[in-house]
Homo-oligomer: A and B are copies of this chain.
Amino acid sequence: MLAEIAHDFYVGSNRFKNEKILKHLNVTSTMKKSITIKDIAKKLNVSTATVSRALRNSSEISKETKLAVIKIAKEMHYHPNLLARSLIKKSSKVLGVVVPTINRQFWSNSISGIESVAYKKGYKVMIFQSAESYQKEVEIVEILANSMVDGILIAFSKETQNYDHIEDLKERGIPVLLFERVCDSIPISKVTTDDFLGAKRIVNHLIERGKKRIAFIGGPLSLTVCMDRFLGYKSSLVENGIPFDQNLVIELSEFTTELSVIAFKNLWSSGESPDAVFCFADILALGVLAASKELGIKVPEDLAIAGFGNDDITKYVSPSITTMSQPSFEIGQLAAKLILKEINFEEKDEFEYKTEIVKPDLIVREST
């Protein structure tokens, strides 16, 4: 049988394109076929079952055969095919992660947190960027689901308003967890920051320091994160009897220094100069600092940043700054732990979805 003979020479990879040659059994081919348990079995005159068991250190295999198998396996440079194992085990030991973008500290930190936990538990991580596109997000989710990942962690894109793709995953029985950019309507595990509280605290703090005209420079309010912070900001003002002034509120479509530079300049030149600024993310804070420098005005004495609190960026920039620290790495860790628990739950009853809300810390750095 051709197939039978060919097997001994077939390289087993589309990397080697000379299939025609192989079909003609051109033995001069230098390609190597990959070693399988079948090969080991043949060499030892045992069954593949025995080899499989021996390699997995099953208790029902005699020590001698075990050793023999392992010895030959090493000699032949055997490597188990994880895909084949996944197929039969119905678990790939892979977590899928979807974030808006990977090259922004907050998200890469989260991923790092996810990866660190996953790796310890023997899981791999597959990463995708939605690039803030709903379309792409849906596409990615489909790929992940079809790849038999054991669980999917998602931070929604800015565009995402429809959650059918998530419902779909649930229907297919695939564990999903939303983190940071979430939605309310779906009963599902979530990990978020308590942005409302964080914003409130930070604005309270500014007010305590005697500030009255506190500007708000934030991202698109369509994102729950941003909206929550906005509400926290407003709530603090109300509770402290400070009139809310729409002119002090700036909603940016993107998180870029450029935009915040423009925003702050406009704010300032409009005669509405604030005495403090509450802004999202250090990236925006840098913009504010830059703009104030450029305008030749003193850097706002009280600048509050609600970001992930990467001190490295802001620490040496402004002497007096208050940060609402969003522990992105920890959020990632928490998210991974939670979904792994869901994946490996042992209960007989329905899994209970949990929403973990991380309370951001307030880091106050006084000018010296």
Mask: chain A, 144-176; 1 = CB below 8 Å from B; 0 = not? 011110100000000000000000000111110
Q: Quick check: is A75 within 8 A (CB to CB) of the other chain?
A: no
Shortest Cβ distance from A89 into B: residue: B14
What's the minimum C-beta distance from A151 to chain B, rounded to whole angstroms?
A: 9
Of residues 109 through 132 on chain A, the ones whose CB sits less than 8 Å from some CB of chain B are: 109, 111-112, 115-116, 119, 124-129
Of residues 76 through 110 on chain A, the ones whose CB sits less than 8 Å from some CB of chain B are: 77, 79-84, 86-87, 89-92, 94, 101-105, 108-109
A34 contacts across to B, CB distance below 8 A: 172
Q: A11-B173, A312-B283, A316-B293 are in contact. Are A102 and B91 (CB under 8 A)?
A: no
A346 contacts across to B, CB distance below 8 A: 17
Q: Quick check: is A287 within 8 A (CB to CB) of the other chain?
A: yes
Q: A172-B79, A315-B257 are in contact. Are A129 and B146 (CB under 8 A)?
A: no
A interface, size bucket: 35 or more
What's the minimum C-beta distance from A113 to chain B, rounded to whole angstroms?
A: 8
Q: Beyond A15-B91, A115-B127, list 11 extra A-B contacts (CB 8 Å).
A: A14-B89, A14-B91, A15-B343, A17-B346, A18-B348, A32-B173, A80-B146, A81-B148, A83-B86, A102-B112, A124-B126
The interface of chain A, by Cβ under 8 A from chain B, is 11-18, 31-32, 34, 77, 79-84, 86-87, 89-92, 94, 101-105, 108-109, 111-112, 115-116, 119, 124-129, 142-143, 145-148, 150, 171-175, 257, 283, 286-287, 289-290, 293, 312-313, 315-317, 329, 343, 345-346, 348
